[in-house]
Amino acid sequence: MRWTKVAGWGFVVGLVLLAILVTYKAPKQHVAPAAATPPAIPTAKAVEAGSHPSFLYGRITTADGAAYEGRLRLGGDQEAFWGDYFNGDKKASPWVAQVPPERLPKEHDSIEIFGFKLAQRERLKDLGRRFMARLGDIARIEAHGRDVRVILKSGTVFDLNRFGASDFDDGVRVWDSSRGVVDLDSVRIRTIELLASPRPAAAPDRLHGTVRTGHGEFTGFVQWDRQECLGSDELDGHADDGEHKVRFDTIRSIARRSNESSLVTLRDGRELVLSGTNDVNGDNRGIYVDDPRYGRVLVSWDAFERVDFSPGGSGPAYGDFPPGVPLRGTVHTRDGRDLTGRMAYDLDESETTETLDAPLHGVDYTIPFGLVASIVREGLEGPGPPHNRVVLQGGEELPLEPSGDLGEQNAGMLVLVDGGQRSQYVPWTDVARIDFDRPPAMYPLLHP
């Protein structure tokens, strides 16, 4: 009986081993692309030639003391240029402590059944805010345990939650002149010191063009699906004859056909109808355009109609981004007061490099405050909802929607009044108009 059991188990084990041998596949070997399709990542020999000044460049020190220096790209295939944004979650705002607790903005929750209010609760509004800064405005990024510290060129320090949504966690690819191309996981990184490139090289093939929507056009450097920004990046999709990976430097235009597909016109005149991937259908996360009028806009797939690519040059270098200065101006209140001095907008943004974020017609605007001349709140006394008119330093007016930094979640204005002994707090509902001082140094134009 015992021998029968042993023999039975031996038979089962043998079958398992045989199955493993049959299904085992040798590890795939890397196959170099054909000569007609250059690799997106330069070889170590190409690294030695240097990096164009418009590319991100810096020195990375790891936790074990190793140092890497060269061209950088966050996440390996994401942010690559000085005008790109570094994002994260701020841990706290230093300005909140200057507002008396009883005056901090509050919101009310109520429980209703069949239209009858049973209970109501008052609580502080959520004062947590996102951090956004162009990489050209940053001097250094440091890892401190659960925190990521960002130090701007101006010297201002922000502590971010490392385990929140953060670009730091995506790691960094560095083109080191002695080690070649290295991908560094964020857990290995201690510091990232951003620097101007000391060894100029050939200009990058950046994506540039005009993005058309139903309400206007935007022209500048382009990031497709918030990510692809180089000619060597690829557009993925499925056509009737199979899967396609199309380099962006072979594309003349992309037009949205529906929520499911796009018409891609190549430079040689051929056309492809592609579908099935987030590059070419409604899962696309949107198209960034660095339009010099506004800073940066994000065109949603619903608003997007077409992009026509065109030569665009290389863009600004690290030295083209001056340090930010304190945000200053005058807050005009609904009861007739005028408060002039340094300000913290939304109890958050306090420098000219920080941004005003609000949508219009499916386009999200990210406008550095250095480009904003005024914010005018209109319709405050009428029966309908209030609306906003944002006036830019160049004179253009944008009727941005009451959302984001212009919505009811705005925490209000803190003004360090010139000559005053203490700061003055103005709730957002009491603000009638804000006029910003023109900064001494305007921001680099993002065109060639």
DSSP-derived pairing of the beta strands 296-299 and 287-290: antiparallel
Query: What is the spatial distance between Cα 134 and Cα 155, in angstroms, rounded to a whole number?
Result: 15
Q: What angle do CA 50, 56, 58 make, to 5 degrees?
A: 75
Burial class of residue 226, CB neighbours in 10 A (0-12, 13-18, 19+): middle
Q: What's the token pair of residue 53?
A: 């000044």
Phi-psi category of residue 220: left, alpha or beta, with phi > 0 → left and psi -120 to 50 → alpha: left
DSSP-derived pairing of the beta strands 431-436 and 189-194: unpaired
Query: What is the spatial distance between Cα 240 and Cα 238, in angstroms, rounded to a whole number?
Result: 7
Beta-strand ranges (E) seen in 203-310 are 208-213, 216-223, 234-239, 242-247, 251-256, 261-266, 271-275, 287-290, 296-299, 304-309
- For the chain, what are the domain ranges? 44-92+129-194, 208-309, 318-436
For the chain of 448 residues, list the mean pLDDT of each consecutive stretch of 10. 40 41 35 31 42 93 96 92 94 88 79 69 80 96 94 95 84 93 95 90 89 97 95 95 96 96 97 96 97 96 98 91 95 96 96 96 97 92 82 95 94 92 92 94 50
Query: What is the spatial distance between Cα 423 and Cα 429, in angstroms, rounded to a whole number?
Result: 18
Cβ atoms of 289 and 222 closer than 8 Å: yes
Q: Which residue has the tokens 């497709």?
A: 224
Give the H/E segment covering residue 431: strand 431-436
Residue 218, pLDDT score = 98
Residue 442, pLDDT score = 60
Residue 49, pLDDT score = 41
**Buried-exposed string 294-307: b where 16+ CB fall within 10 A, e elsewhere:** bbbbbbbbebbebb
Give the H/E segment covering residue 134: strand 130-134
Residue 50, pLDDT score = 57
Residue 288, pLDDT score = 98
Cβ atoms of 291 and 220 closer than 8 Å: yes
Specify the amino acid at residue 46: A
Residue 384, pLDDT score = 72
Picking from 210, 213, 357, the residue whose alpha carbon sits closest to that of residue 299 is: 213
Beta-strand ranges (E) seen in 138-294 are 138-144, 147-152, 157-161, 172-176, 180-184, 189-194, 208-213, 216-223, 234-239, 242-247, 251-256, 261-266, 271-275, 287-290
DSSP string spanning 336-388? S-EEEEEEEETTTB-BTTSEEEEEETTEEEEEEGGGEEEEEEE-SSSSS--EE
Query: What is the spatial distance between Cα 422 and Cα 436, in angstroms, rounded to a whole number?
Result: 20
